Structure 1
Amino acid sequence: MQGLHLTADLHGCHCAPAWLLDAAALGRACTDAVRAAGLQAVGQLFHGFPATAQGPGGVTATILLAESHLCVHTWPERRAVTLDVYVCNFGADHSGKAHALMDALLALFEPTTVDRHVLQRGEVNLSAA
């Protein structure tokens, strides 16, 4: 259950519009980034949302990893994105791969501002066992 959970809220993204609007294109980019980081995709779901009165519909891209998951949500009308990378570190330390994946996605979206968080999850207290 030990793991590393990375999140980032991106604002002012200057990326190509396809990364915010096109579920298939974003899905391919995420899959490529997962592979390049050395993580293993075991499932995926890429979904585009319809336009609203506020603007064009965004995209959710989720990749189930053998190590845990990646989830991306876009708000094209705000040029904003949220990123969620979680890796389980119980059998091996995948922290470097998680950071590499996050860095690749940050480069893809080209945000003006980023609010990043790092959470160590499920630390095992051996004295309590």
Structure 2
Amino acid sequence: MNSISYSPGLHKLMTLQVDKAEKLTDSSGFVAFTDSILEKYDLEKVGVVVHDFDNNSFTIAVCLKESHICIHTWPEFGQLTFDVYLCNYLQDNSQKVKAITDAYVAYFEGVIIKDFEINR
């Protein structure tokens, strides 16, 4: 059997503590910020689903040609979880994934509680 060394991409999963509850309840602000990230890093959105809950928390899945960005917020606990995964078809996108997650941490002015990197 011929074994080819190939890594489909980097997947980062994070949990943040966020003091500004308004950031955890502003789904449209998150979508606008994400659109700017996609433009900056030349990523192609193929779909987005936004769900706002009764307490104004939100869940958003942004499907990309390169894979996805997902977020879930809990303003009652001052936390969010998100993940960013970009596949590596024509290029290694690992540095983009790290830069994008750094941008989200800065956007939310969050403190990292958990930070996982999975090389797929």
TM-score band w.r.t. shorter chain: 0.7 to 0.9
TM-score by length of structure 2 reads 0.85
Q: Distance in 1 between matches of 2:118 and 2:112?
A: 20
Q: 2:10 aligns with which of 1, 4, 11?
A: 4
How far did 1:70 drift? 0.2
Structure 2, unaligned runs of 5 or more: 1-6
Q: Distance in 1 between matches of 2:88 and 2:71?
A: 21
* Maintained 8 Å contact 1:44/1:64: yes
Q: Distance in 2 between matches of 1:37 and 1:4?
A: 15
1:120 aligns with: 119
* Maintained 8 Å contact 1:35/1:41: no
- How do 1:39-58 residues align onto structure 2 when only pairs under 5 Å count? 39-51=43-55, 57-58=56-57
Q: Does 1:97 align with 2:88?
A: no
Q: Distance in 2 between matches of 1:59 and 1:49?
A: 6
Q: 1:30 aligns with which of 34, 48, 53?
A: 34
Counterpart residue identity of residue 8, structure 2: Q
Aligned pair count reads: 114
How far did 1:41 drift? 1.5
Structure 1, unaligned runs of 5 or more: 52-56, 122-129
**1:90 is paired with a residue of what secondary structure?**
coil
What's the Cα RMSD here? 1.7
* Maintained 8 Å contact 1:43/1:63: yes
How far did 1:38 drift? 2.8
How far did 1:120 drift? 0.6
**1:78 is paired with a residue of what secondary structure?**
coil
Q: Tell me the percent identity.
A: 34
2:85 aligns with: 86
How far did 1:16 drift? 6.0
